[in-house]
Amino acid sequence: MTLQLKPLHPLFVAEASGIDLTQPLAEHDLKQINAAMNQYAVLVWKGQPLTAQQQLDFASTFGPLDIGLKRVFKRKERLEDERLIDISNVDAQGQVAQRDSPKNLSNFANQLWHSDSSFMNPRAAYSMLHAVVLPSWGGCTEFADLRAAFDALPEQTQAEIQNLYAEHFALHTRLLLGDDAYTDDQKKAIPPAVWPLSDTHPGSGRKVLFVGVHARQIVGWPTAEGRMFLLDLLEHATQKPFVYSHEWQVGDLVIWDNRSTLHRGRRYDISERRELRRVTINDTSEARLMAA
């Protein structure tokens, strides 16, 4: 089968078709998808009738799966396989969660610009999000191209960040949103990860401005100065020319590369049911993410 691509944005993102994702991928298909991801960073697949197991099987073709904060926080989950991340407002009993529930707190954190598991080492490579049930309005997902953001930086700023590193902390977004019910032991169980601000995407070789809301300080800088600079860089990276907004339809599968993009969910009526399933690939030496 031949992968077909239709660009959806001047800088990145393409609609992909021509490969049946419900079936095992041939090596040729894998290489085509990786090459497209290296070019576009976000691929939108329409009308994919994936079961949860088919989504897991498809994702596993690319490498080991990341379970994010489930590594350290063991909570009752609605979905049986821990490799499936439940991006929904549905509680463990299958009901729409209460407005002030921990489930919705997580959803609000997802509305901040971030890359999945940047607070982990290894971090996440690809994420694959599948739409199952959608509300009547809102809930789109926005993506920002960190490669284009780097290219658009003034030369002075590119040089300034060349040897700077940012510390990414898992609970930074939760603390920002007023969720401070974490013990010292829980905080110590998730040590920060450190990544260069001026990074190089391994698949495309392009420079990346690797920022996001998980970044809480610049290593070696005073906290206040570092956070202000990080906010400036994040504001730059998420300007409208660098952003694509995806309006979900049931059956959509969107794949993005967390090493070269940011994303955020947008507001919707949280009294209406919304269910999406995410599977994420670890950025490890075992991952099969490089195009031949």
Please state the pTM of the whole predicted model: 0.95
How far apart CA 170 and CA 190 sit, in angstroms, is 7
Q: What integer pLDDT is reported at residue 73 of this predicted model? A: 66
Degrees to nearest 5, angle at CA 243 with 171 and 268 = 60
Q: Report yes or no: 253 and 45 within 8 Å, Cβ to Cβ.
A: yes
Q: Residue 217 burial (CB < 10 Å; 0-12/13-18/19+)?
A: buried
Q: What is the mean pLDDT of residues 188-216?
A: 95
How far apart CA 49 and CA 251 sit, in angstroms, is 6
Q: Report yes or no: 259 and 122 within 8 Å, Cβ to Cβ.
A: no
Residue 258 has a CB neighbour count (10 Å cut-off) of: 25
Q: Report yes or no: 188 and 125 within 8 Å, Cβ to Cβ.
A: no
DSSP the chain: ---EEEE-SSSS-EEEESS-TTSPPPHHHHHHHHHHHHHHSEEEE-S----HHHHHHHHHTTSPEE-GGGGT-----SSSSTTSEEEESB-TTSSBPPTTSHHHHHHHHTTS-B-TTTTSSS-EEEEEEEEEE--SSB--EEEEEHHHHHHTS-HHHHHHTTT-EEEE-TTHHHHHTT-----HHHHHTS--EEEESEEE-TTT--EEE---TTEEEETTS-HHHHHHHHHHHHHHHT-GGGEEEE---TT-EEEEETTTEEEEE--B-TTS--EEEEEEEE-STT------
pLDDT of 255-268, one tens digit each?
Answer: 999 999 999 999 99
pLDDT of 153-192, one tens digit each?
Answer: 999 999 999 999 999 998 888 888 887 777 778 778 888 9
How far apart CA 102 and CA 109 sit, in angstroms, is 11
Q: What integer pLDDT is reported at residue 185 of this predicted model? A: 80
72: confidence class by pLDDT, cuts 50, 70, 90:
low
Distance of CA 143 to the CA centre of its chain: 9
pLDDT averaged over the chain?
93
Q: What integer pLDDT is reported at residue 70 of this predicted model? A: 63
Q: Which domains does the chain have, with CATH numbers?
A: 4-282 (3.60.130.10)
pLDDT of 221-239, one tens digit each?
Answer: 999 999 999 999 999 999 9
Q: Report yes or no: 265 and 127 within 8 Å, Cβ to Cβ.
A: no
